Amino acid sequence: MNASLTKALAAATLCLWSLACHAGRPLATEDADILEPRDCEWEYFVARESASASPLVKGWTTQMGCGVGYSTQVALAYARARAQGLTAQGLVLVGKTGLKERKDDSLGLTLAWALGVEKAPGSSSFRHELTQLNLVATKDLAENLTGHANFGWARSQFARASSTTWNVATEYSLGGGVDVMAEYYDDDRSKPWLGAGMRWQAARRLSLNASYSVQRETPRIKLWTVGFKLAF
């Protein structure tokens, strides 16, 4: 089995997990808001990751989450990435607990976490791969403008390494249910990502979203995603 391809698939699955671990689709940056008890959301998105002289990786993620009370929500996500006939799969349990509720234009604080297992190409079973903790802040910066900031820690068993992570993002409401957003996210072991996205509230409970991100590696890694969120 091609080691570089296996590594690319593992990295892509982690990337899909990273996107699934956050409630602010299509951002990779988490927001501090918490679902109300018994409110639930189903999210789904497809992704395409490419880089010069590297295999094209395609994948998708589905996630179901609900508010469980005590200022907490929990979700389970399944991610699948495929390249050149090989497939990697991942399951991740994610959650958020509010530390300070966001009211009016005040700062909201939340603790987010994730625990993931991965089934690598050629493997017959899942194994523990991802552990993540994240402190999340959200605040209204101006009329129709919201900012988010994350600071956290992540552990990859595949890479046998821990990372310090940080994200900043802004969202701007254009009206008519359309929001545009931009973000910057990074860790202490790789080059940063720059991303932009759009979200459209197509119906009262249905929103559609899309994003484009570039990692400033050499060669550049490009990631496209398209998805939806259904609230119930």
Give pLDDT tens digits for 172-202: 999 999 999 999 999 898 899 999 999 999 9
Evaluate whether 185 touches 28 at the Cβ level (below 8 Å).
yes
Q: Which CATH architecture has domain 3-231?
A: Beta Barrel (2.40)
Using pLDDT thresholds of 50, 70 and 90, give the confidence band for residue 63: very high
The more confidently predicted of residues 147 and 50 is: 147
**Model-level pTM?**
0.90
Ordered by start, the domain boundaries in the chain are: 3-231
| pLDDT for 157 beyond 90 | no
Burial of 170 (0-12, 13-18, 19+ CB in 10 A): middle
Strand partners, 110: 98, 136
Evaluate whether 157 touches 129 at the Cβ level (below 8 Å).
yes
In what helix (H) or strand (E) does residue 8 lie, and over which residues does it extend? helix 3-20
N residues, the chain: 232
∠ CA(219), CA(197), CA(175), 5° rounding?
Answer: 160
